[in-house]
A = this chain, B = another copy of it.
Amino acid sequence: MPHNIIKPKFSAMDSFQISTASRSQFIDITGQVQKLVAESRMADGFCHIWVPHTTAGLTVNENADPTVVEDILKQLDRMVPWDNHYRHGEGNSAAHIKSSLMGCRLTVTIKDGRLLLGTWQGIYFCEFDGPRQRQVWVGVMAKG
């Protein structure tokens, strides 16, 4: 493994907001995350993305054909029906369950100031109880 020995620097957290438009929706946030990474002027290290909500999540999947994320959302609905004799009084337990299935966090390696993703990979914010205003938090630990 070629070495690249440097003193990492740590950037303070930053965040951005997104508005979701329906109950269940995947929104490609790759560009917004990449913008914050570029603004941090960090070159090589890790970027950690966090959704501070319990009825939303993060995933990585194909960014070319939009029917892929449609199929993911539809299958999650089949696996976790909206109404299913849940006890939680707010009526949105399905959204909480899907949030735990996708997870609310995502670490991506940064190289030369760019998120290191595969050719067809996009980073998706997963809305499971919209429409709402949502936040995404981004932290970077990397060399300057």
Contacts and interface: CB of A to CB of B under 8 A. Distances in A.
When all copies of this chain in the complex are counted, the total is 3
A8 interface: yes
Interface residues of A, number: 79
B46 A100 contact: no
Interface string A45-81: 1101011111000011110010110111011101110
Contacts of A84: 75, 78
A116 B5 CA distance: 23
A62 B72 contact: no
Contact of A88 (B14, B71, B121): B71
B75 A89 contact: no
Contacts of A67: 86-89, 93
